Structure 1
Amino acid sequence: MTRSSATPPNGRAGDEPASKKKGAKPQTKLRDGVMKRGNTWSYVIRVKDPETGISKPKWVGGFVTEDEAKEARDEARVKARRGDYVDRNRVTVAEYLDDWIETHAMEIKPLTLKDYKMIIRLYVRPNIGNMRLQAVRPSTITKLYGHLRSKGGKDGKPLSTRSVNHVHAVLRKAFGDAVKVEELLTFNPVERAKRPKHTYTEPGSVWTPDQLRTFLSIARSHRLFAFFHLAAYTGARRGELVNLRWSNVNLDGKVITIAGSVGIIDGERIEGTTKSGRIRVVSLDDETVAVLKAHKARQEADEDTAGDEWQGDKEPHVFTTGLGRPIYPDTVTQLLRDLVKAYNAPAEGDGPLEPLPFARLHDLRHVHATTLLLAGVPVHVVAA
């Protein structure tokens, strides 16, 4: 799909444009299937109807230059002769999204691609998949969001605002490409649709510095304590730390280099670039350097104990299992939950006077940012 589909200049599909019409802008004569009307160029080809066998004219417009219209005309003629011509007036949302995913698969990270496919399969295709792409209006998308928000989740339950916003992000990019890349649409209806209002996380679900210190004291005895300390004191993402190797750690220079990330696709551990695609260097404070040195010594002791059973890589990861295998991202996510749960409800006796609220591992990034801001670090430095 490379060019936009349009009705003929006189508004009736399959007919040649009227040469003159009251109030219409001046237009050039049709020359070899190409003509200019207003500020854009159009072309017409004859396409055989597969059901009736009758050849009918098909108009396609919206080209900026005559050369672009001629190039698209030649391509369409070849496809028409082969029987591969697609009437873009009839392309459905599902058909377009299938082609869009395939076309852009190489540009999207594997984990993100999986999310895109899931969103399209669960939330878009069942609701507007059969609609013609060119028939979608902003109100169509607004109604879709309303339906998803009220009963678009599993078993007809409401879908969260956050999930609806993920649907919006995918559709905005896909329909944006339909305008800018494929030139199938003249505007992006998703940009004009009304999204559900964002609901913010309730206060208290992101830890205060005191609550962070409480958690780190709980985790200190675990062999992956250094992971949580590094996450809180560097703001690095979960996948970035799981991917971290000792070759990326400079304890003498007090820095680590974030060079990649890890995701899980169909149960398989996949390594790739960072979210931004950029490599960055993060400074370490003295306490964090000491924590990493202790962690490394413990890991080396584990290797000595395991002997021939040690399964570490030639370029060893910083955070591994007891036998040296790199850990999965979900391992530390579940460990955080288990440690908090054990602290709040110990096996014997009463729990703490002030239970530790549950928080996501990702929220350690927010604690890190907040702490830096409170310490007077400029906002642009924290953002970087």
Structure 2
Amino acid sequence: MATITKTQAGTYRVLIRKSRFGVPQLIKTFTRKVDAEAWARKIEGEIERGAWRDVGGADRMTLAEALKKYQTTETPKHRGAKVEGYHIKALKEEALAKTVLDRVTRGNVRSLCDRWIEQGYAVATINRRLTILHAVFECARVDWHMTGLSNPAEALKLKGATERERRVSSAEITALCDSSDSPWLPAAVRIAVETAMRRGELSKLRWSMVDLDACVTKLPGQITKAGKTRGVPLSPESIKVLRELLPAKKSKDEVAETSLLGGIQPHSITQAFGRAVKRSRAQYLADCAKSGVIPAPDFLADLTFHDLRHEACSRLAKIFSLHELMKIVGHTSPAMLLRYYHPDPEDFAMRLRDVAMVAASSMTSEVMP
């Protein structure tokens, strides 16, 4: 039987000893005696049925507290710490965040997902939040010694996340660069579409990582998403852009640790790109109205800086094989690379036509005397 004693503070302390069941001594304090008795009956019943789990404090820590602890101890280790922080902030504002970890169920999480869908959140955004929830519960279970805690976000991901297939035309790139108010964005855009480097990699690129004579950039693991060193070949166009950026009247040693893009931060690239898209689209619409031309609905519309990486992968795929391209762009699986490769059907048709023409020419030469 559980022992219930009244403390000097007027609360009720419950002590449960069930060592013969392999259960450690359990202690919990309640404001009301009726709650203490109810908890004692519940726990003793679970122990005797073999259903009790050692949640190690998960019945006292709320989801909001767990998210805060996770953000303090784990998030700083992640490359996408800033973006992850935004999602954690949103999760902490949910009503479910006030629930203790042990009471958060799979049904609760599913209901949360349904509400996010009704509110118009993208599937990709919801899946990112589910990934964070899964990581928080795993961290609590493994690192915070809440071994009996179940993970309500286990294997819970929404299907139907749309994969972007947006190609960026040369005309759009020119318009964006011409309308940008940033001294660094035009160079960032041109290098990105030629090399498939990520926004974060470009912002951290130093001249010491670039070999213009060998036409290659060596990205150290500290700045790549996968944490692995990667060599990126430089096209003649990217070499031209880099030579224009090269500081004048400075020695090689002075230039070595200088940022290529003047120390611009990743979020600043995104903001400058967004301004350039709006400005160039507005100019395009004005030019169309002036000349009486019907504007194309997708020209300079719905563009993100990351679309440049998609475009670069599709262009480089015409030159390099699958495994070579994976090494260049830093993808660890062919499946991931295929999400970035968006070929034009017209290119396939042209290749088929060329093959047919070669075959026809060969047959003609065979029948000639």
State the TM-score, normalized to the length of structure 2. Answer: 0.64
* Residue 381, structure 1, aligned to residue 351, structure 2: no
Equivalent in the alignment of 2:25: 44
1:99 paired with 2:87, answer: no
Aligned partner of 2:6 in structure 1 is none
Q: Sort the Cα spacing of 1:215 and 1:351 in 2 relative to 1 into closer, same or farther, 3 A.
A: farther
Aligned partner of 1:236 in structure 2 is 197
For structure 1, list consecutive stretches of 5 or more residues without a partner in the other structure.
1-6, 8-12, 18-29, 63-71, 73-85, 152-157, 261-271, 304-311
Q: Which one has a larger percent helix, Structure 1 or Structure 2?
A: 2
Amino acid of the residue matched to residue 168 of structure 1?
L
CA distance in 1, matches of 2:292, 2:320: 36
Offset, 1:118: 3.0
1:188 to 151, 159, 168: 151
Query: What percent identity do the matched residue pairs reach?
Result: 19
Q: Is residue 254 of structure 1 aligned with residue 219 of structure 2?
A: no
Give the superposition deviation at 1:313. Answer: 8.5
Give per-residue Cα distances to partners, 1:188-237, cap 9 Å, x unaligned: 22014453632344x5xx125xx1x2234435667643321210011111
Q: Is the alpha carbon distance of 1:108 and 1:252 closer, same or farther for their aligned partners in structure 2, counting shifts above 3 Å? A: same
What is the rounded CA distance, in whole Å, between the counterparts of 1:337 and 1:123 in structure 2? 31
Structure 1 residue 280 displacement after superposition = 2.0
Contact 1:235–1:364, Cα closer than 8 Å, also in 2 = yes
Distance 1:104 1:291, change over 3 A: closer
Query: Is 2:316–2:325's contact at 8 Å kept on the other side of the alignment?
Result: no
- Asked whether the equivalents of residues 343 and 351 of structure 1 are also in contact (C-alpha less than 8 Å), the reply is no
Is the 1:142–1:194 Cα contact (8 Å) retained in structure 2?
no
Q: 1:319 — aligned with what?
A: 261
User: Aligned residue for 2:290?
Assistant: 349
| C-alpha distance in structure 1 between counterparts of 2:255 and 2:95, whole Å | 47
Task: Please give the alpha-carbon distance, in whole angstroms, between the structure 1 residues aligned to 2:294 and 2:323.
Answer: 35
CA deviation vs aligned residue, 1:61-93 (integer Å, no higher than 9, x gap)? 99xxxxxxxxx9xxxxxxxxxxxxx84423222
* Alpha-carbon offset, residue 176 of structure 1: 1.8
- In 1, the alpha carbon distance for the partners of 2:322 and 2:128 equals 30
Task: Report SS of the residue matched to 1:189.
Answer: coil
**1:171 corresponds to:** 133
1:141 to partner: Cα distance: 0.8
1:233-312 equivalences under 5 Å are 233-259=194-220, 273-296=223-246, 300=248
- 1:282: Cα distance to partner? 0.8
Find the counterpart in structure 1 of residue 84 from structure 2: 116
* 1:14 shift after superposition: 4.8
Structure 2 runs not aligned, ≥5 long: 3-13, 48-53, 331-369
Structure 1 CA distance, aligned partners of 2:324 and 2:106?
36
Q: 1:108 to 1:234 in 2, by over 3 A?
A: same
Distance 1:237 1:168 in 2: 24
- Other structure's SS at 2:290 match: coil
Q: CA deviation at 1:249?
A: 1.5
- Of 160-169 and 184-193, deviating more is 184-193
- Inter-partner Cα distance in structure 2 for 1:193 and 1:250: 45
RMSD: 4.0
In 2, the alpha carbon distance for the partners of 1:330 and 1:364 equals 12
The answer to whether the 8 Å contact 1:344/1:351 transfers is no
Deviations 1:157-176 (A, max 9, x none): x3232221221111011112
Superposed CA offset, 1:34-61 (max 9, x none): x6x5xxx53215x47375899x9999x9
Matched residue SS, 1:129: helix
Q: Give the distance between the partners of 2:154 and 2:309, measured in 1 at CA.
A: 30
Q: Which amino acid aligns with 2:211?
A: N
Contact 2:130 2:157 in 1 (8 A): no
Change (3 A) 1:362 1:128: same
Which residue identity lines up with residue 315 of structure 1 in the other structure?
Answer: E
Cα distance between partner residues in 1 of 2:269 and 2:171: 23
TM-score normalized by the length of structure 1: 0.62
Measure how far apart 1:289 and its partner are: 1.5
- CA distance in 2 between counterparts of 1:351 and 1:175 reads 59
Contact 2:208–2:257, Cα closer than 8 Å, also in 1 = yes
Q: Could you tell me which residue of structure 1 aligns to residue 175 of structure 2?
A: 218
